Amino acid sequence: MASSDQAAGQVAAELAAEHAKTSKPTKQLVIVTGISGSGKASALKAFEDLGFHCVDNLPLELLPGFADLVSQSAEVDRASIVVDVREGPTLDLLPQILKKVRTLLNTRVVFLDAQDSVLVRRYSETRRPHPLGRSETVSRSIVEERQLLDPIRNVADTLIDTSNFNVHQLRAHIQARFGRDEEGHRLLVSCLSFGFKNGVPLDADMVFDVRFLPNPHFVPEFRNKTGLDPNVAAYVSGFPQTGEFLDKVTVLMLYLLPHYIEEGKSYLTVAFGCTGGQHRSVMMVEEIAKRLKQAGYEVKALHRDMTRG
pLDDT digits 0-9 by tens, 228-269? 999 999 999 999 999 999 999 999 999 999 988 877 777 899
Of the residues 127, 145, 178, the one at which a domain ends: 178
What span, in angstroms and rounded, lies between the C-alpha atoms of 203 and 276? 19
Distances (CA, A) of 267 to 24, 106, 161, 261, 271: 21, 17, 14, 9, 13
Contact at 8 Å (CB) between 54 and 81? yes
Nearest C-alpha neighbor of 106 from the set 33, 30, 22:
30
234 and 255 share one domain: yes
Domain of 50, in residue numbers: 24-178
Q: What are the helix (H) ranges across the chain?
A: 2-22, 40-49, 63-72, 94-101, 116-126, 138-148, 150-155, 167-178, 230-237, 240-262, 280-294
188 φ, ψ (degrees, to nearest 5) = -95, 120
Could you tell me if residue 303 is inside a domain? Answer: yes
User: How far is the C-alpha of 171 from the C-alpha of 49, rounded, in Å?
Assistant: 9
DSSP notation for 123-173: HHHHTPPPTT-SSS-HHHHHHHHHHHTHHHHHH-SEEEE-TT--HHHHHHH
**198 and 102, same domain (yes or no):** no
What tens digit of pLDDT does each residue of 33-64 get?
A: 999 999 999 999 999 988 899 999 888 889 99
Taking 80 as the threshold, does the pLDDT of residue 22 lie above it? no
Are 166 and 38 contacting, i.e. CB atoms less than 8 angstroms apart?
no
Q: Looking at the structure, tell me whether residues 202 and 246 fall in a common domain.
A: yes
In a domain, 218, yes or no: yes
pLDDT one-digit tens code per residue, 173-222: 888 788 765 444 468 899 999 999 999 998 899 999 999 999 999 999 99
* CA neighbours closer than 13 Å in the CB half-sphere of residue 56: 10
**Cα–Cα nearest to 85, from 130, 43, 134, 145:** 145
Tell me if 5 is assigned to some domain: no
Residue 237 and residue 105 share a domain:
no
102, 236: one domain:
no
Residues 6+ apart with CB under 8 A from 1: none
Using only the alpha carbons of the chain, give its radius of gyration. 23
Q: Is residue 75 part of a domain?
A: yes
Judgement on whether residues 172 and 262 belong to the same structural domain of the protein: no
Q: Which of 148, 178, 208 is the last residue of a domain?
A: 178
SS3 246: helix
Residue 1 lies in a domain: no
Q: What is the mean pLDDT of residues 145-160?
A: 87
- Same-domain pairing of 160 and 44: yes
Is 287 in contact with 247 (CB distance < 8 Å)?
Answer: no
- Domains identified in the chain, total number: 2
Same domain, 34 and 173: yes
Is the same domain home to 236 and 167? no
Examine residue 34 and state whether it is found in any structural domain, yes or no: yes
The model scores a pTM over 0.95: no
Q: Among 130, 149, 178, give the residue marking a domain's end.
A: 178
Query: Is 44 a member of any domain?
Result: yes
- CATH code, 157: 3.40.50.300
* Nearest Cα residue to 105 out of 66, 140, 153, 137: 66
Residue 51 falls inside a structural domain = yes
141 and 222 part of one domain: no
Instruction: Check whether 98 has a pLDDT greater than 80.
Output: yes
Domain match, 273 and 149 both: no
Tell me, yes or no, whether 90 and 224 share the same domain. no
User: pLDDT category, 125, cuts 50, 70, 90?
Assistant: confident
Least confident of 90-99, 249-258, 283-292: 90-99
